[in-house]
Amino acid sequence: MGKTTIQDVSKHLGEEVTIGAWIHNKRSSGKIAFLQLRDGTGFIQGVISKNDIGEEKFDQAKGLTQETSLFVTGTIVEDTRSPLGFEMQISDFTIIHEAEDYPITPKEHGTEFLMDHRHLWLRSKKQHAIMKVRNEIIRATYEFFNEQGYVKIDPPILTGSSAEGTTELFHTKYFDEDAYLSQSGQLYMEAAAMAFNKVFSFGPTFRAEKSKTRRHLIEFWMIEPEMAFMDHDDSLEVQEQYVSHIAKSVLQNCKVELEALDRDLTSLQKIEAPFPRITYDDAVKLLHEKGFEDIEWGEDFGAPHETAIAESFDKPVFITHYPLDIKAFYMKPDPERPDVALCADLIAPEGYGEIIGGSQRIDDLELMEQRYKEHDLTGDAYQWYLQLRQYGSVPHSGFGLGLERTVAWIAGVEHVRETIPFPRLLNRLYP
């Protein structure tokens, strides 16, 4: 009688197996009890009949409490009604540990209560499905970039400088020096691209943003590819291919999870490269037509603007060529129109907002020095970055995809707080 896991039961059809599991839920009627079991790899229904198992064991089964852990033995049979396609006819079970008064019951709980119990909430069906989608997006990310010949490079987390603006930095001491938690590995990835051509990173980033919205985390994970010899248009092609690959992989490998999340699949099926592109200029015009009279050229878009623009397309849309003044110091001005940058944000459909920010980088030393001055960037912290423009500078581009916003969109989850195992929010550092 072999030990297996729920995700592998299809390999044991008709066999008797043992699974280590927890009681997720249960109900009984007359001589039959139904145990909803979870083992971390999935959920399965176990059926116990009094006639098969005997009265004493049957009464014990009826008394099993939520989250009690046990070894369950039984035969795997087909069950076309369940999302998994299988159930277990239980022949025996042994309790490992009895759980008393598990705080998260099948009834509704408030968000704050659930967030306070995040360490337990992760066991629930919806949270489990979201984390599995997250895991699949990470897996598909490595697959995509490895297949395309990218080298994974890990930029530092403790840094001496800011990449995306000094107001959102987490400050700490590095012995006698000042240090900051990384907001983006980009500047280091540019150095890496000059050494390895095509590179990508995947790591945590920190933004001390006082934003309390459904799209903002204080600590979030970013995937940052950087490509030597690629211009702005080349980079957009990589982005749309990458995002299409993510959507396709999740559709293929997370069927049970997408069903548990009640995700509308038709909108996911539409995510296929190429994606539409609209310039910032045209986006402003579009917003005026849609009744956003207040927005003026030169202003950044807020969440309602992004949502309104995205509504005009049924795929993710690139907004390109933003005014240089509202973007980061490293972005290359468009040679044909130096007041706009060779950059794009990728806006997800269905109101999920910006999931990617990217650009072609300035490769000219003098221009970069001039941008330093304009942005008051002084000190040794940035000297190494200038040297990248001094020794064989080449056109290069890159982008950053926010993992949690992408998970929220693909999984169809309203708030990014449910897309990371232990969210760090403006008012939350627990658990």
Bridge partners, residue 78, by sequence: 86
Q: What share of the chain is helix, strand, coil (3-state, %, to 5)?
A: 35, 30, 35
The site partner of 405 among Mg ion, ligand 4AD, none (C-beta below 5 to 8 Å per kind) is ligand 4AD
DSSP letters along 329-390, please?
Answer: TTBPEETTEEEEESEEEEEETTTTEEEEEEEEBP--HHHHHHHHHHTT--SGGGHHHHHTTT
Of 250 and 407, CB closest to Mg ion: 407
Structure tokens belonging to residue 292: 């956003």
Interface with Mg ion in residues 312-371 (CB under 5 A): 357
Structure tokens belonging to residue 3: 């030990």
Assess 186 for contact with ligand 4AD (CB under 6 A). yes
Backbone angles phi, psi at 217, to 5 degrees: -120, 160
Candidates 15-23, 209-217, 240-248, 292-300: pick the segment binding ligand 4AD (CB under 6 A): 209-217
Assess 354 for contact with ligand 4AD (CB under 6 A). yes
Among 169, 217, 324, 340, binds ligand 4AD (CB under 6 A): 217
Backbone angles phi, psi at 43, to 5 degrees: -125, 140
Of 128 and 405, CB closest to Mg ion: 405
Which x/- pattern over 376-405 shows residues binding ligand 4AD (rule: CB under 6 A)?
----------------------xxx-x-xx
DSSP state of 12: G
Of 46 and 357, CB closest to Mg ion: 357
Interface with ligand 4AD in residues 228-257 (CB under 6 A): none
- What lies within 8 Å, CB to CB, of 57 at 6+ separation is 48, 92, 93
Assess 198 for contact with ligand 4AD (CB under 6 A). no
Assess 355 for contact with ligand 4AD (CB under 6 A). yes
Assess 357 for contact with ligand 4AD (CB under 6 A). yes
Assess 180 for contact with ligand 4AD (CB under 6 A). no
Interface with ligand 4AD in residues 118-147 (CB under 6 A): none
Structure tokens belonging to residue 387: 């040297």
d(CA 37, CA 430): 28
Residues that bind ligand 4AD (CB under 6 A): 163-164, 184, 186, 207, 209, 216-217, 220, 222, 224, 354-358, 398-400, 402, 404-405, 416
**Positions that interact with Mg ion (CB under 5 A):** 357
